[in-house]
Amino acid sequence: MLRFIPTPTSSKIGIGPFTIHFYALCIISGIVIAIWLGDRRYKAAGGGELVVADVALAAVPAGIIGGRIYHLITSPDAYFGSHGHPLDAFKIWNGGLGIWGAIALGTYVSWWRFNRLKKSGRSGILSFAIFADALAPGVLFAQAIGRFGNWFNGELFGRPTNLPWGLEIPPSLRPTGFEQFATFHPTFLYESLWCIAVAVTLIALERKFSPGQSFTFYIGAYCIGRFFFEMLRIDSAHAILGLRVNVWVSVLVAACAVILFIAQGRTWKRSQSGSL
C-alpha cells in the first residue's frame, strides 16, 4: 500500500538551450494519442484517411486557446489582480487550461473545419456526429494524461487527507491556511482514473448508442466526475452561492448532456422507424 504520492521535485528539464516543461509534454502526449486513436476509429467507421489529422490542425490550437481563455475568465486575479502579472497569461506551460473552454471552442472549430472539408468535396467525410463519436474515447485518454501535468506542477490538489495515497505537497506550494498539512487528496489522479474509466465504459457501450450519443455520453459522464473532484479542491477560485464556478458549470453541462443524450436517442429511433 502506498505511504504517500510524492510531488516531483522538478516540473521541467533543460536540453541545451531548450527547456521542456512536463506540463506541456503531458498535454502534447495526450493530443497525439487522441488524434491517433480518433483516426483509427473514424476510419473503422468508414471515414477517409487523414480527415482527423486535418481537422486537428485547426481544432487543437483552438482548444488550447479556448481552455486558456476560460481559465483567465474564471481565475483572473493571478494575472490581472492587484498582485497579478498580466504577461503570465501567456505562460500556459505553468498550468491553467480550463477544460470547458477547450471543449467548447475545440468542438466548434472541429465542426467548422469538418464542414469545410465536406463542402470541398473531400472523400471519406461522414456525419459530424460519427466524427465526434470517434474522437470521444481518445479525448478522454488525452485528458487522463494531461492531468499528470498538474502533478508535475504541484497544483490543483484537494483537501488534506491521511489516506495512504495522499499527495505530499512541499511547504512552498501549500495554500494559505493549509501550511500545517503535508498530504492532500490527489485530485489529478482521481480525475485521470475517472477519464480512463469513462473511456473504457464508452467503448464497451457505444454499439448501443445512436450517432452523436457517444460524444454526449462523454461530456455528461465527465461532468459528473468533475463535480465531485471540484468539491474536493481547495485552490483559489471564484464562487457563486458558496460553490466554485466549475461546480455550477459541471451541473449545468451535465444536465444539458443528459437531455441531449435522451433527445438524440429518440430522434434516431423515429428516423429508423420512418425508414422501415
Examine the domain organization and report whether 100 and 115 are in the same domain.
yes
| C-beta of residue 24 within 8 angstroms of C-beta of residue 149 | yes
Examine the domain organization and report whether 119 and 178 are in the same domain.
no
Give the model's confidence band at 16: pLDDT under 50 very low, under 70 low, under 90 confident, else very high: confident
Residue 110 lies in a domain: yes
Give the domain range for residue 3: 1-7+35-47+126-276
108, 124, 140 — which closes off a domain?
A: 124
Examine the domain organization and report whether 198 and 119 are in the same domain.
no
Examine the domain organization and report whether 180 and 102 are in the same domain.
no
Read out DSSP for 52-112? HHHHHHHHHHHHHHHHHHHHHHHS-HHHHSTT--GGGGG-GGGS---HHHHHHHHHHHHHH
Residue 97 lies in a domain: yes
| pLDDT digit string, tens, across residues 215-270 | 999 999 999 999 999 999 998 778 888 899 999 999 999 999 999 999 999 888 77
Examine the domain organization and report whether 136 and 118 are in the same domain.
no
Separation of alpha carbons 72 and 202, rounded Å = 31
Our count of domains for the chain comes to: 2
Residue 19 lies in a domain: no
